[in-house]
Structure 1
Amino acid sequence: MKKTRLLITISLLLFAFGANAQLVNSDNKYQRPLNEVLKDIEQRYDVQIRFSEKDIAGLVLNYADWRFRPDLEETLRNVLSPFDLVSNLEEKSGVYKVEEFRYHRKTVAEAQEFLDYLSGLYSNKEEWEARRAELKSCLPSAVRLDKAPASPGTKPILTKIRKMDGYTIQNIALEILPGVYACGSIYRPAKIKGKIPVVLCPNGHFGDGRYNPDIQKRCAGLARMGAMSISYDLFGWGESGLQFDMKYHRKALANTIQALNSIRLLDYLLSLDYADSDRVGITGGSGGGSHTMLISAIDDRIDVSVPVVMMSAIHYGGCPCESGNPIHLCGGGTNNVEIAGLFAPKPQLIVSDGGDWTANVPELEFPFLKRIYSFYGPDAVVENVHLPNEKHDYGPSKRIAMYHFMAKYLKLDESKVFDKAGNLDESAITVEKDNDLKVFGDNGEKLPVNALTDFEKLEAMFQ
């Protein structure tokens, strides 16, 4: 009789927790291999889950069957979260894909929920200004700018000026920290009369870095319109890669150095007697768009901001050079949309498209940003140009939107890049070869003798 009851009890437990359940183990944690648990979920909920057997080999889940719930999504969270894994539903295929937890990504629903939470923190200008002050005081220290050594104050290394059609180009290496050089190219109008605007063009993760034709055209176009623009390397890319291997680009300190690059290059450009400190712009795409929003929030000298294909509540930039520092933990938690709002009421143009994480900007992110600008009245300027049929780049359509906006608010001559019919005309712009844009020679043979190449020593400067 006792034996029969025992068999019935075991049968009921197997029914409740699954036939594969290990009811007894050495430490009473009722463990099961994760791959078995996922296959069990597929059968129970009649779904398909894609995962790499190699990536989860050896992962064992404690109290595995206790984590099952009637709801599939909740079950997946319970099962995957102990391993820092998540499941993402691929809408087209209907397959759940198991991936590492992405700190920089949210679902649209999660993004909307967080934006609603942020909206509830302020309902008028006074409440927003208090929130704004809190975030602006936090960001510099989050980026570790407060720990940065003073600028060496050395003169920049400059190449000879190359004359083009309506503009000039000069390469620059500026020592922003002892032995650490920011490298880039300065584009100026061919004829400079009086004070001219300055436009920072931080690079994103587009192929070829600042040698990319789209980036060259953007900077040259701004110069033809009457501005001094500057394009400069990402940390570990281009000539910066002569000092620090590209693997260090995916370190949090890359975010710090890139912020310093912008701030100290702007220090130099504004020291020139023909630079107009009251007309300063910044624009970048992708990772350069992340940087555009960050620098616009930190550096009050910026007057016009145009982040391209990056302002999003669902994606904060997957590279540590964008979000490796705890920027988004400021103020108890923030995101790039609220950070963009810190620029209010100054003119800001958000350029988005339908082929990346900015696809929802007109309905999701822009109304939130516009509400912040509304606190400052009708003179506060924020606009969105959405290109639903385009993808992730800084191509001609994006440049058209940026040129018009910069021309209006920095008082530039847009006839230098548009024909009489109003069509974009960049035919006068020369796309140079990579070596033409280098300051340290074709193969880095002119790298200064004091150039730092030890990343650990660079990190030590900020400790």
Structure 2
Amino acid sequence: MAVHAPLRAQEVPTVYDYWKLERGNASQYLYQGLSDRAFSLLEKRQGEIGKLQTQTDWQRRQAYVRQQLAKALGPFPEKTPLQPVVTGVLHKTGYSVEKLYYQSRPGYYVSAALFLPNQRAQKAPAIIFCSGHTDQGFRSETYQQMILNYVGKGFIVLAFDPIGQGERIQYQDTDLFKGATKEHSYPGAQSFLAGISPAQYFIWDGIRSVDYLLSRPEVDPLRIGITGRSGGGTQSAYIAAVDDRILAAAPECYITSFDKLLRSNGPQDAEQNLLHALKNGLDLADLLEVRAPKPTLIVATTRDMFSIQGARDSYIEARKAFKAFGKIEHMNMTEDDAGHASTLKNRESTYAFFQKYLNNPGSSKDQ
């Protein structure tokens, strides 16, 4: 895999023509002003990152990032009984699916499905699958293909619905909020007004999903992975950054840099923006670096709305952290020439990544 030279904030990227920040455009004056403040903060962060050399340097940085993530997210609630309920079981050729729900907070229900391969190790590796922005949640055809490939390769998979998707739709009586993006951003705006990052709710659902997996006797607690595309890439990057029980993480079609994001599509859904993250010196690469040296894979596409230049920049920066820990090979990246989509090459690279680092060898071919 080729290593790509990082782009500096001052350069005008030319790989793909999707840059939307226009100087001199009166309709963008406010956005320009806010972006310039962000670029100044990001430049300061780059100066601090450039000083990090040793493992001790990076460990101090990790402690700082954890502190700032905790500040941005606010205190998580107390862990209360999940009270899981299995509502039915589907028996398929080679695997079964338990339909279930549990409570990540009292009275706050998470709908999910546990996919169990018939042929598996006594204590099998497990993958948490986070869904992107589809109303169907993990039931979409694209996500089912990935989930069932993992199951066919001997992984247990727990797929859960984010709030506002699948069986957790909130605004059922109006067309105004149809779609996962609006389902997230409307309550997200109210959450920000209350001083709470809406990401906290998404992340806490993921942490409690790990708790549920570890309650299952079929699961090896030392071989837990997480992945997901788009909004699922966001969730998997966040959850893996804050939950040390996750060994291997492969966020797909999300990782970029704030520098490139602000120059192109701009800020995304409410849960994809952490309170005071830029002010406190955080970038998306920090979600990877705080995990070092645990195995991590960026899954990217060249024509994604999440800039490929930013993904490459984050990859190159994160490898410095992993190198300082003596595990540069644990920071990986796969990319394919496509839009915001799952591709054959990236799926097979992701299967191979989990097969290697969750110690579950076999064919990585996509079925």
Q: TM-score range by the shorter chain?
A: 0.7 to 0.9
The AA in structure 1 aligned to 2:268 is G
**Aligned amino acid, residue 148 of structure 1:** P
Q: Which residue of 2 aligns with 1:382?
A: 331
* Higher alpha-carbon Rg: 1
CA distance in 1, matches of 2:115, 2:26: 46
Quote how far apart the aligned CAs of 1:193 are.
3.4
State the shift of 1:242 in Å.
4.7
The 2-side partners of 1:385 and 1:234 are apart by 26
Which of 165, 183, 186 does residue 114 from structure 2 map onto?
186
> Match of 2:286, SS?
helix
Structure 1 residues 246-298: Cα deviation after superposition (integer angstroms, max 9, x where no partner): 65521045311111111111101111112111101011111211221211110
* Map 1:63-102 → 2, pairs under 5 A: 88-89=21-22, 96=25, 98-99=27-28, 101=31
Deviations 1:145-180, CA, capped at 9 Å, x for gaps: x242432x1421212221223222122211111211
Q: Which position in structure 1 is the counterpart of 2:72?
A: 142
Can you give the 5+ residue segments of structure 1 that lack an aligned partner in the other structure? 1-86, 419-423, 426-463
Q: Quote the residue 1:272 is aligned against.
A: 216
Is 1:166 the equivalent of 2:77?
no
Amino acid at match of 2:79: A
Q: In structure 2, what residue type is equivalent to 1:234?
A: P
CA distance in 2, matches of 1:334, 1:257: 20
The 3-state SS of whatever aligns with 2:308 is coil
Give the letter aligned to residue 218 of structure 1: M
- Whether 1:130 and 2:60 are equivalent positions in the alignment is yes
* 1:257 maps to amino acid: Y
- The one-letter code matched in structure 2 to 1:143 is L
- Aligned to 2:122, what secondary structure does the other structure show? coil
The one-letter code sitting in structure 2 at the alignment partner of 1:296 is A
What per-residue deviation string (whole Å, max 9, x for no partner) do you get for residues 415-462 of structure 1? 3x62xxxxx32xxxxxxxxxxxxxxxxxxxxxxxxxxxxxxxxxxxxx
127 and 232 in structure 1: CA distance in 2 versus 1, 3 angstrom threshold: same
What residue in structure 2 maps to residue 458 of structure 1?
Answer: none
Aligned partner of 2:123 in structure 1 is 195
Query: In the alignment, what sits opposite 2:287?
Result: 339
Aligned: 1:354 with 2:282: no
**Is there any run of 5+ residues in structure 2 with no aligned partner, and where?**
1-19, 192-196
Could you say if the C-alpha distance between residues 97 and 399 of structure 1 is closer, same or farther in structure 2, counting changes exceeding 3 Å?
Answer: farther
Change (3 A) 1:269 1:105: farther
- Superposition deviation, residue 382 in structure 1: 0.9
Deviation at 1:361, TM superposition (A): 4.7
Instruction: Report what 2:184 is aligned to.
Output: 249
Cα 1:101–1:234, aligned 2, differ >3 Å: closer, same or farther?
farther
Query: Partner of 1:101: helix, strand, or coil?
Result: helix
Residue identity matched to 2:282:
T
CA contact (8 A) 1:112 1:364 kept: no
Runs of 4+ in 1 over 4 A off after TM superposition: 102-112, 242-248
Report if aligned partners of 1:226, 1:413 keep a CA contact under 8 Å in 2: no
SS of aligned partner of 2:143: helix
Does residue 220 of the first structure (1) align with residue 220 of the second (2)? no
Q: Which has the higher contact order (CA 8 A, sep 6+)?
A: 2
* Aligned mates of 1:110, 1:263 — CA distance in 2: 34
Aligned to 1:182, the other structure's residue is in SS state strand
> Residues of 2 paired with 1:201 and 1:299: CA distance?
15
* 1:229 corresponds to which of 150, 154, 157: 157
1:116 aligns with 2:64: no
Deviates more, 1:333-342 or 1:111-120: 111-120
Q: Which amino acid aligns with 2:323?
A: S
**How much is the aligned-residue C-alpha RMSD, in angstroms?**
3.1
Secondary structure of 2:349's counterpart equals helix
CA contact (8 A) 2:88 2:100 kept: no
Q: Which residue type is aligned with residue 227 of structure 1?
A: F
Change (3 A) 1:347 1:359: same
Q: Is the 8 A contact 2:169 2:183 kept in 1?
A: no
Aligned-partner SS, 1:344: coil
Structure 2: how far apart are the matches of 1:352 and 1:104?
27
